[in-house]
């Protein structure tokens, strides 16, 4: 292992992540792993197990962080804070849309579901993770469609009565990319639209106002956070952990089961 290297960022094709991550951890290197960490839950759990309690070469706690970037995307942590602190009351409804065209720029890698996981694992993971981050694990899920374009209804025993996410990359070339959430609280509705400036609006009392959000990109914020976790352990609380990667992988497998068998999972 190169003693001059302290940390690695793994952003290669998904089916190479596990081997590279395990090697980095074994070498005592901090590691940021692009989502999805792996295509299957079993593989994610292998990395999580290796990272648990791992140390760097100088005996410090090793930081292994999955790149769950919506936890850093400007306008997304904001609405989670609204959910958690109750400033607008309880959540009544939360809908998410993430739609695009087939990613053919990848030399067909993304279209090979065995290697990429398809849109379910590579694209829809963003909203599935964010839903878990806001509301926890659902009691059940009901999914329709396919692994390349699906809609999932998340049922909570003690949470919002309406949580739905649609994700897919099956639209025709020229459609572009759409990313949006609409979360309705008892006292306001907050909506994010990537295609609009400002991207986040708060609607209440007959008025719509732009929310104050970070100007930096999610990827810069995520990298700064990763470095902060390494440089200031104990001061910076790690926002995304391998347990989160395993949790969303488990949720996606429930959604896959619902797609394949029909009904709730």
Q: Which residues pair with 143 in a beta bridge?
A: 152
- When pLDDT is cut at 50, 70 and 90, the band that residue 104 belongs to is confident
Average pLDDT over residues 28-35: 98
pLDDT of residue 65: 99
- When pLDDT is cut at 50, 70 and 90, the band that residue 105 belongs to is confident
For residue 231, the Cα-to-chain-centroid distance in whole angstroms is 24
Average pLDDT over residues 239-260: 98
| Out of 18-32, 75-89, 96-110, 212-226, least confident range | 96-110
Q: How far apart are CA 243 and CA 120, in angstroms?
A: 19
pLDDT of residue 106: 81
Residues of the chain with CATH 3.30.360.10: 70-217+251-261
pLDDT of residue 263: 87
Average pLDDT over residues 44-51: 99
pTM score over 0.85: yes
3.40.50.2300, 3.10.450.50, 3.40.50.300, 3.40.50.720: CATH of 7-68+218-239: 3.40.50.720
Q: How far apart are CA 242 and CA 236, in angstroms?
A: 16
Residues of the chain with CATH 3.40.50.720: 7-68+218-239
DSSP string, 204-229: ETTEEEEPP--SS-HHHHHHHHHHHH
Burial of residue 194 (CB within 10 Å: 0-12, 13-18, 19+) is middle
pLDDT at 131 over 80: yes
pLDDT of residue 107: 78
For 149-177, write each residue's pLDDT tens digit: 999 999 999 999 999 999 999 999 999 99
pLDDT at 257 over 80: yes
Cα dihedral across residues 39, 41, 46, 51: positive or negative: positive
For domain 70-217+251-261, the question of CATH label 3.30.360.10 is answered with yes
* Contact of 7 with 28, CB cutoff 8 Å: no
């Amino acid at each position: 292992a190169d003693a001059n290297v302290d940390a690695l960022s793994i952003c290669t094709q998904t089916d190479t992540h596990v081997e590279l991550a395990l090697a980095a951890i074994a070498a005592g290197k901090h590691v940021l792993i692009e989502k999805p960490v792996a295509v299957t839950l079993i593989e994610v759990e292998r990395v999580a197990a290796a990272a648990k309690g791992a140390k760097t070469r100088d005996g410090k706690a090793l930081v292994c962080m999955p790149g769950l970037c919506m936890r850093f995307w400007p306008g997304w942590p904001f609405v989670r804070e609204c959910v958690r602190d109750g400033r607008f009351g309880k959540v009544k409804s939360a809908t998410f849309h993430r739609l695009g065209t087939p990613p053919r720029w990848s030399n067909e890698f993304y279209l090979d579901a065995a290697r990429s996981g398809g849109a379910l694992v590579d694209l829809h993971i963003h909203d599935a993770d964010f839903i878990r981050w806001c509301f926890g694990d659902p009691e059940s899920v009901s999914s329709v469609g396919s692994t390349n374009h699906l809609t999932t209804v998340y049922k909570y025993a003690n949470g919002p009565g309406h949580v739905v996410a649609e994700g897919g990359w099956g639209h025709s070339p020229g459609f572009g990319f759409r990313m949006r959430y609409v979360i309705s609280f008892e006292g306001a509705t907050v909506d994010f639209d990537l295609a609009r400036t400002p991207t986040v609006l708060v609607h209440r009392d007959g008025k719509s106002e732009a929310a104050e959000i970070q100007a930096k990109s999610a990827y810069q914020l995520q990298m700064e956070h990763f470095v902060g976790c390494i440089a200031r352990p104990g001061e910076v609380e790690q926002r995304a952990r391998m347990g989160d990667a395993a949790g969303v992988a488990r949720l996606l497998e429930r959604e896959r089961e619902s797609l394949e068998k029909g009904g709730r999972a």
